[in-house]
Structure 1
Amino acid sequence: MAHKNLKFGIQNGLNVARAGYTEDQILTACMLADKTGYDSIFYMDHTNVPQWKNATVLDPWVMLSAIAAVTNNVELGTCVTDAIRRHPSNIALAAITLDRVSKGRAILGIGAGEAQNLKEFCIPFEKPVSKWAEQIEVIKKLYHSNPDATVDYEGKYYRLEKACLQAPPIRKPHPPTYMASGGKRTLDLTGKLGEGWLPIGYTPELFEDHRIQIETAMDKYGRSQEDKDNFEMALDIDVYFSEDAEASWAKMKEAVKVSLFKPEILRVHGLKEIEGFDFVKYFTEYSMSDQSWIVKMREAATKIPDPIARSSTAVGTPEDIIPVFERFMEAGVNHFVIRFWGKNYFGSIDKFASHVMPALREKNKQKFG
């Protein structure tokens, strides 16, 4: 799928939360990204991350509004908001409001949700994928609603009766929906309903495998050529600048393996299911108050071979990092959303913009002319 543009964004995710940056520092980093040629800024949506007690976890919609006020060029999106904690009318109105205050720069990154943000708040985690599909349909209907054009929707989980919002988005036809998906059913839905895809914790092989599933679904649901051409294959990726890639990798590799540890990685890389690990139970029961699951998972994850784990993460000097990105570009990524780790956050944003982005943009130009 040829794509004219290669995009780069920064993600205010666990990297920023764990470092405990102040709101002013976050806004400064976003202004820097806006001035140095990045295309987008994303913000994670978590209620908390209690495994890191000193982290600061903020509301993404409020922060993105603040970021909109101090930037001019970058697109702004959630990475990702989840469909279970809010009614779709709230999400639609938040996305429209962000789009209007940013003069047409909003992106809605949305996923089906996870136990971590729900369990301790006693929000039921039931039928997440079915609810997610309905939410996206409801949100898209509401984008085009007004008092003279009210909308109805009859779903299993959500209903609208002559409902409307009273503010049209600026982006046409509406802010794009980037879906966070990584299973057969959710990838199929992404091809059916999404304008973009935004996964996290991938190797190039898994990205390619899942990208093909989305493209197949787009054909199946008769998406137009324009939809296919404009579809953004994004990826949330970690970058750690270091003068000594080997030493840094040795410190990080256990954590990287944990982030990659999922059935789809084992399938694509032909790693026999790691004995006795119950993924379904892990994903439905795991919450921060139950540490036993984390211990089990860490033990199992160490069995992922080093080269596979390393292909998912960019560590070292710009020269070390460029080939990692090139491999993902070959797998089909056209919008990189980067979490910068390490001591010098501002320096990393700047270094990537001046030493990595130009090389990759040039490479992309050669490929697509």
Structure 2
Amino acid sequence: MIRTGLVDFGMHTRFSPDLLMRNSRTLAALIGAESLWTPDHLINVIPQSIFVPRYVGVSRIAPRAHACYEPWTELGYLAARNRLSRLLLGVSVTDAGRRHPAVTAQAAMTLHHLSRGRAILGIGVGERENNEPYGVDWSRPVARFVDALATVRALWNSGGAPVNRESEFFPLRDAVFDLPPYKGTRPPIWVASHGPRMLRATGRYADGWYPAFIRDPVEYERKLELVRAAASDAGRDPSTIVPALNLPIVVARSEDAVDEILDGVAAKAMALALPATDWSAHGVRHPLGDDFAGAQDFLPQTLDEATVLRHVETVPTSLLRSGAIMGTPESVVDQVAEWRDRGMRYFVPLDVSSLQPSLRRGLASTKPLVKAMRAIKRL
């Protein structure tokens, strides 16, 4: 059986500060999700220049594309309202670039206590957009991430004793971490990893693998084997690592409706955050350069409307459909089954069905999503 979660956008709205949060919590209950996640962004991946009603109907409700909530604060708010639903609460994912790992360790353990043991520490390298504009060095994000992950583990395992640890990025000198586990448990660590070094770190340190940029189920299976091999090399049981998946999802009542969403400016603009290698696989050059690394290097706040419109003219539909799950509820269930057959056991979609010009259709997309997710849980 597939376990499921849901990603909340973590954005401020025009009418109520917690409007999207309340909607996400209700939606999670309707689909029977086990967990609710929120991103760690200062800047979102969609350019503000096209986040206007002409292209995105829901911008009438949430007009500021980059009005992102701080995730640990949001999850603390949700934890206080989580006594009945008992959802697991996770960050999708914590930015190891701009957050010191001691603060991350403290935030996650605090949430674990306040949520009565229901916190998940999702963590990854982060993105250039949320680091470089704020003066954070972005020259060696993977090395910084690996060091951050080891630091979190060292502090959690210290038992409150002073920790001394040599480290290129986060040296510890008589550092004390005295927050105890909650009833003997610590938040599981889920790592968003894709490259070889990150996959090895996942196998060595993580409790869950939580990739977001995987092109197809075959690639997922291959990388999952690398994670499990790294776990074995570290003397860990590979079967204890949860094989999860975080992908964009577009669900509509008909394939024509899906095609209409994919033909919109907003959906095509999101393709700008894909790496140049993904574009070249579809016979198209990335407008941001042949060496563009994707979301990790994307700076959407620098793109004006005319530039975005010019860039999206070259986006092929096949590119949008790769590395995402799209279709009618029945088609979506069949697609998720392919990932299950390659080892995936925990599905956490980011629903982008609302990113279309029609506000009414965007809001109505919830119904086919609920139908699909309920069926996915029975796979």
Q: Aligning the two structures, in what range does the TM-score lie when normalised by the shorter sequence?
A: 0.7 to 0.9
The 8 Å contact of residues 30 and 67 in structure 1, kept in 2 or not, is answered as: no
Note closer, same or farther for the CA distance 1:167–1:309 as it changes in structure 2 (3 Å cut): same
For 1:297 and 1:134, the matched residues in 2 are separated by 40
Q: Which residue of 324, 329, 333 corresponds with 1:313? A: 324
Worse-superposed segment, 203-212 or 78-87: 203-212
* Residue 232 (1) aligns with residue 242 (2): yes
Cα drift, residue 191 of structure 1: 1.5
Aligned counterpart, 2:18: 24
For 1:186 and 1:300, the matched residues in 2 are separated by 34
Q: Which residue of 332, 335, 354 corresponds with 2:343? A: 332
* Residue 12 (1) aligns with residue 8 (2): yes
For 1:34 and 1:352, the matched residues in 2 are separated by 11
The 8 Å contact of residues 47 and 300 in structure 2, kept in 1 or not, is answered as: yes
For 1:29 and 1:322, the matched residues in 2 are separated by 23
* Residue 207 (1) aligns with residue 220 (2): yes
Letter in 2 for 1:234: A
For 1:121-270, list aligned pairs within 5 A: 121-147=134-160, 149-170=161-182, 172-202=184-214, 203-224=216-237, 228-252=238-262, 254-255=268-269, 257-263=271-277, 265=278
For 1:134 and 1:327, the matched residues in 2 are separated by 34
For 2:239 and 2:204, the matched residues in 1 are separated by 15
5+ residue gaps, structure 1, are 364-369
* Residue 45 (1) aligns with residue 58 (2): no
Cα drift, residue 30 of structure 1: 4.1
For 1:145 and 1:159, the matched residues in 2 are separated by 15
Note closer, same or farther for the CA distance 1:117–1:297 as it changes in structure 2 (3 Å cut): farther
Note closer, same or farther for the CA distance 1:281–1:41 as it changes in structure 2 (3 Å cut): closer
For 2:113 and 2:158, the matched residues in 1 are separated by 16
For 2:270 and 2:135, the matched residues in 1 are separated by 30
For 2:242 and 2:254, the matched residues in 1 are separated by 33
- Describe the superposition over 1:39-71 as per-residue Cα deviations: whole angstroms up to 9, x where unpaired: 101000011238226223110000000111111
- Describe the superposition over 1:80-138 as per-residue Cα deviations: whole angstroms up to 9, x where unpaired: 11111121110000000010000001111111122101222122112211111111111
Cα drift, residue 157 of structure 1: 1.4
Q: How many residues align?
A: 346
Cα drift, residue 300 of structure 1: 9.9
RMSD value over aligned CA atoms? 3.3
SS at match of 1:236: strand
For 1:329 and 1:185, the matched residues in 2 are separated by 25
Bigger fraction of residues in helix: 1
The 8 Å contact of residues 90 and 121 in structure 2, kept in 1 or not, is answered as: yes
Worse-superposed segment, 45-54 or 247-256: 247-256
Aligned counterpart, 1:62: 73
The 8 Å contact of residues 234 and 337 in structure 1, kept in 2 or not, is answered as: yes
Aligned counterpart, 1:366: none
Letter in 1 for 2:43: N
SS at match of 2:300: coil
For 2:223 and 2:43, the matched residues in 1 are separated by 29
Cα drift, residue 248 of structure 1: 2.3
For 2:313 and 2:150, the matched residues in 1 are separated by 38
For 1:104 and 1:241, the matched residues in 2 are separated by 33
For 2:368 and 2:82, the matched residues in 1 are separated by 20
Note closer, same or farther for the CA distance 1:160–1:350 as it changes in structure 2 (3 Å cut): farther
The 8 Å contact of residues 88 and 136 in structure 1, kept in 2 or not, is answered as: yes
For 1:336 and 1:218, the matched residues in 2 are separated by 22
Cα drift, residue 21 of structure 1: 7.6
**What percentage of aligned pairs have identical amino acids?**
25
For 1:172 and 1:349, the matched residues in 2 are separated by 38
For 1:284 and 1:260, the matched residues in 2 are separated by 9
Cα drift, residue 179 of structure 1: 0.9
5+ residue gaps, structure 2, are 52-63
For 2:143 and 2:274, the matched residues in 1 are separated by 25
The 8 Å contact of residues 273 and 295 in structure 2, kept in 1 or not, is answered as: no
The 8 Å contact of residues 30 and 71 in structure 1, kept in 2 or not, is answered as: no
The 8 Å contact of residues 201 and 259 in structure 1, kept in 2 or not, is answered as: no
The 8 Å contact of residues 152 and 162 in structure 1, kept in 2 or not, is answered as: yes
The 8 Å contact of residues 27 and 70 in structure 1, kept in 2 or not, is answered as: no
Aligned counterpart, 2:95: 82
Cα drift, residue 255 of structure 1: 4.5
